[in-house]
Every structure is written in C-alpha cells, then in structure tokens.
Amino acid sequence: MDGRDGMRAADADREAVADRLRVALGEGRLDLHEYDERLQRAYAAWTYAELDALLTDLPPVPPTGGSTLAPVIPAAPPGAGAGHQPAPTAGAGTARWLAEVWLPYLRVIAVVVTIWAVISLLSGELLYFWPIWVAGPWGAVLMIQTVTGLGRGEPRRRAVERERKRAKRERRRELRADEANERDEPPAPA
C-alpha cells in the first residue's frame, strides 16, 4: 500500500463510511447482516484502503463536501421519522459512555450525602462524614474503570453496539410496516 491507501484514517473518515453504509442500508443495497459486518470493519479500520474496500461495490453519491473519502449524504433510512437520531460522533459517544459509568455513582452519593446532612441537621451537630466510605472506594474503582475503558476504546465499542441495535430495531419496524401494508392491500383482480 502506498500513497493515500496506506495512510491512517481518522475517526471522521470512519464516521463518513459508517454514514455511507447507513444510507446503503436505507436504500436496500445492504441487508442488515452485511451492514452490521461492514460497520464493525469500518470502526476497526486503520487505513484508507481498509475503509475504501467497504464501499467498492456501492455506487458513489453526489458530493456534499467535507470528507476525505467518498462523499456521504447524511440521510435517514426510509421509515425514520422526526425522531431519527444521527449516529453519535466520537466525542458524543465518549460523553455518553462516561455518563453511563458515572451517573449511578453520582446519584447514590447524592442520596447518601443528603441522608448524612439530614441526620446531622436533626441531631443539631455536624456528624462524622461517613459517606466517604461509600464514595471513596467506589469512586476509585470507577476511576480505574474509566481510565482503562478509554484506553481500550470502550466508548467506540459501545457506540457501535448501540448503532447496531438501533439499525436492527429500525429494520424490524420496516419489516413490520411492510407486512402490515401487504395485509392491508387488496388482492389484484385476476
């Protein structure tokens, strides 16, 4: 591999390919299994050649500008209504993963500190701050989990998994809608 093919791809390039694959799924060019497989390979790709190989059998789309790969039309698949959410960007995926890891901790600590504060207030004196025994060890474990998870690319892995599940749900909805339409259509006269 030489030239552009051997160059390392960026997260934006992987997202552009994921968007193009999503459009191809919506157009019916890929089935759900093939989309899932290619999406996993897109997020695991290191070079432009690996990303380009995922799009070689798909027709090009009109340029919208901004991408170093084949241009992408960020369109919602058929059947996606106003509630359709675009794929999360790398930063949004990381923020969502961090929220999933840390929000339960923050909620429990808020409850524990509130209980301590109410008891201290009712007793009329400042009591020993026992919530530290809940917050300290759990917080240390979460800190280690956060550092190792970010190092292993856990946010991206979770984003891919969420996207795969979303695509499956969407495809099931489309299939159910198609089945309902087929049942509602009157038979053609012979």
Domain spans in the chain, listed from the N-terminal domain onward: 3-83, 91-152
Q: Is 188 helix (H, G, I), strand (E, B) or coil?
A: coil
Model confidence, pTM: 0.45
Residue 35 confidence (pLDDT)? 85
Residue 79 confidence (pLDDT)? 43
Q: For residue 66, is pLDDT > 70?
A: no
The dihedrals phi and psi of 79, each to the nearest 5 degrees, come to: 90, -10
How many other CB atoms are there within 10 angstroms of residue 36's CB atom?
A: 20
Determine the Cα angle at 131 with ends 127 and 135, to 5°.
155
Task: Please give the full DSSP string across 101-158, using - where no structure is assigned.
Answer: HHHHHHHHHHHHHHHHHHHHHHHTS----TTHHHHHHHHHHHHHHHHHHHHHTHHHHH
**Interval 152-182: pLDDT, tens:** 888 888 888 888 888 889 888 888 888 888 7
**Interval 14-56: pLDDT, tens:** 888 888 888 888 888 888 888 888 888 888 888 989 988 988 8
Cα–Cα distance for residue pair 135/32, rounded to 1 Å: 43
